Structure 1
Amino acid sequence: MSDYAEWIGRAIERSEPVTERMIEHFRVTLAGTRASLDVLPGFHWCLAPDAVEPQDFGRDGHPRTGIYLPALPLPRRMWAGGEVVWHGNLAQGEIVKRISTIRDVTFKQGRSGQLGFVTVDHAYEVDGEVRISDRQDIVYRDDPKPGAAPAAAPAEAWQALRSWRITPTPTLLFRYSALTFNGHRIHYDQPYVTEVEGYDGLVVHGPLQSTWMQNLATDILGRLPASFAYRGLSPLTVGRPVTVEAREVEGGLEMRVRRDEDGVVTMQGTITA
């Protein structure tokens, strides 16, 4: 693979106000899976998104690589995980500056072939004060090969401290994509997601699943956590009921999203209280 060292340290700054409309639309989108705060955990992902003209779309509907992110020679993009650290919360009327910096570009060989990883650090500032630090781990991979993905095993049973149940729908995916200005076709384009990317249906956003866990943890603690590290394990597609659940561990909470039909965990994370 080529050397992408020249991308390391590249930064982009954008600003956007926190509006009453945006707060309310995020709240109603998370009906049944939200904490009791004015500005909910995960809201920052609605602010200052990447935006390009249609001629600069990649095949997947995202801005093509080489504009904001390096042009890795692998076609499929996934938000694989990351970590959110809260130094404070956001409030209506504030102007939030998002500073996005590419930290690293690496490659490794996985079971399904070559994988490329791009790590991006996002700092969300208000008047020069960092309110939220957010590391995003993006993985790029080859198109799927027939029979290449083995079935995931069901997870161990938990004695959950608290849980929520939700069945994601196409409307939920549309509303979340609109709020975050996410054009990835795996969330709304059925022929593309099944025939090109090889999934069995419209894919539920990784950050949406992370948002469910962040809100459940905040609801349990009665406040924002100190931090939340998370990673995706298996795809979740629409129409498949899941349980978002938490259990106590030393120093915080262990979180996961688990498919009800087969017990497979689609995303897991650790809350530091």
Structure 2
Amino acid sequence: MRIEDQTIKHLQEWIGKSESILDTVTAAPVRALSATLDRPDPMPTMGTFLPELWHWLYFLPHARQSEIGPDGHPKRGGFLPPVPLPRRMWAGGRLEWIKPLVVGDAIERTSTIQSVTHKSGRTGDLIFVLVRHEISNAAGIALTEEHDIVYRDAPAPDDKPVAPTPAPTDATWTKTINPDDVLLFRYSALTFNGHRIHYDRRYVTEVEGYPGLIVHGPLIATLLVDLVRQSIPGSTLKRFEFRAVRPTFDINPFSVSATPDLALDPSGKTIRVWAQDHEGWLTMQATAVLN
């Protein structure tokens, strides 16, 4: 599909569009994600600290069943621009924590579309949508997030795959993850994510042409942060930046790794974090900065 200049101009009319959503940090999703990540956490109560990235359990999209598209996502339009490309991916993001969020907080998320840009890649047109979120509690803004969304066309039969990047080999901490379909289903359910690539094996292999179910990018990012939490007890994050590099499938184990970036930050508070597949190819790279 060729994206015309007129289409780009129409999509850019969404720049500056904003919406606000209210929610409450309740305990049940925290308990459920702890169980999903196989963590022996104590039962959350009022005032329990909400771990970094676990705010993705809240402000969930609640599109009516009649508003769901064939891929399980809500149909295009509404707050996000109606990009006419079939594949949508959470490509990465940048987050900064200003104040802690805790169970019991009444929270508000204000989201604004910052930019809509077009690029022609090796496999065709790409549309990048940048959304900025500001999450507040009673004390003011607690978290800011820039969310990168990329839209692309389905690959043609003769398209060659992008050359993979080898993962780093200097990990200080590593954990192996077995991404079975139960794990993917539970995370989809927790985040009310109906995208069929994460749970419908027939759809993802026959329609989208992938070899297996795709592990959620936000789940991998959460596992990266969880590795830092486990490896450096008591640590909290000031900033986190991540970028998806290559899809991860449920047909093989993958690993998450981390190491202090002492060359960049001798204090040890800057941590390089990454995920790699069973063949050693990089699938996600990230940087965590501790308080």
Q: Contact 1:33–1:215 (CA<8 Å) still a contact in 2?
A: no
Question: Bigger CA drift: 13-22 or 154-163?
Answer: 154-163
- Call closer, same or farther: CA 1:228–1:65 in 2, change over 3 Å: same
Match of 1:244 in 2: 256
Is the deviation greater in 241-250 or in 144-153? 144-153
Q: Percent sequence identity over matched residues?
A: 39
1:163 — aligned with what?
Answer: 174
Partner of 2:110: 99
Structure 1: how far apart are the matches of 2:52 and 2:213? Answer: 24
| Aligned counterpart, 2:198 | 187
Q: 1:33/1:70 Cα in 2 relative to 1: closer, same or farther (>3 Å)?
A: farther
Could you tell me which amino acid in structure 2 is paired with residue 22 of structure 1?
P
Q: Deviations over 1:163-192 (max 9, x none)?
A: 111111111111111111111111111122
User: Is the 8 Å Cα contact of residues 168 and 238 (structure 1) preserved in structure 2?
Assistant: yes
Distance 2:53 2:172 in 1: 22
Aligned to 2:35: 28
Q: Distance in 1 between the 2:62 and 2:203 partners?
A: 21
More displaced, 145-154 or 67-76?
Answer: 145-154
Give the whole-Å Cα distance in 2 for the aligned partners of 1:73 and 1:151.
23
2:57 is aligned with 1:57? no
1:83 aligns with 2:94: yes
User: What aligned pairs does 1:103-252 form with structure 2 within 5 A after superposition?
Assistant: 103-127=114-138, 129-150=140-161, 152-153=163-164, 155-221=166-232, 222-249=234-261, 250-251=264-265, 252=270
Aligned length: 270
Distance 1:154 1:74 in 2: 26
Cα distance in structure 2, aligned partners of 1:74 and 1:172: 29
From 245, 248, 269, the equivalent of 2:286 is 269
**Could you say which residue in structure 1 is the equivalent of 2:45?**
none
2 CA distance for matches of 1:56 and 1:131?
32
Residue of structure 1 equivalent to 2:271: 253
The residue identity in structure 1 corresponding to 2:138 is: D
Structure 1 position 10, deviation (Å): 1.0
Give the deviation of 1:220 after TM superposition.
Answer: 3.6
The code of the aligned residue for 1:23 comes to: V
Range that drifts further, 110-119 or 151-160: 151-160
Aligned equivalents of 2:235 and 2:158: distance in 1? 45
The answer as to whether partners of 1:144 and 1:198 remain within 8 angstroms in 2 is: no
2: CA distance, partners of 1:217 / 1:65: 36
* Deviation readout 1:109-151 (Å, 9 max, x if unpaired): 1111100111111111102611111111011111121242426
- Of the three residues 77, 84, 92, the one matched with 1:66 is 77
Contact 2:118 2:128 in 1 (8 A): yes
CA distance in 2 between partners of 1:130 and 1:98 (Å): 9
Q: Which residue of 2 aligns with 1:18?
A: 25
Asked if the contact 1:152/1:264 (under 8 Å) is kept, the reply is no
Residue 287 of structure 2 aligns to which amino acid in structure 1?
T
Change in 2 beyond 3 A, CA 1:19/1:32: closer
Q: For residues 35-71 of structure 1, what are the alpha-carbon distances to aligned partners after superposition, in whole Å with 9 as ceiling and x for unaligned?
A: xx84222210110112211221122111111112101
1:32 deviation in Å?
Answer: 5.4
Larger of the two Rg values belongs to structure: 2
Whether the 8 Å contact between 2:49 and 2:101 is mirrored in structure 1 is: no
Alpha carbon RMSD of aligned pairs, Å?
1.9
Query: 1:218 offset after TM fit, Å?
Result: 3.1
Output the CA distance in 1 between the equivalents of 2:277 and 2:91: 18
- Partner SS state of residue 89, structure 1: coil
How far is 1:88 from its partner?
2.4
Task: Write the distance in 1 (CA, Å) between the matches of 2:160 and 2:236.
Answer: 37
Structure 1, unaligned stretches of length 5 or more?
A: none
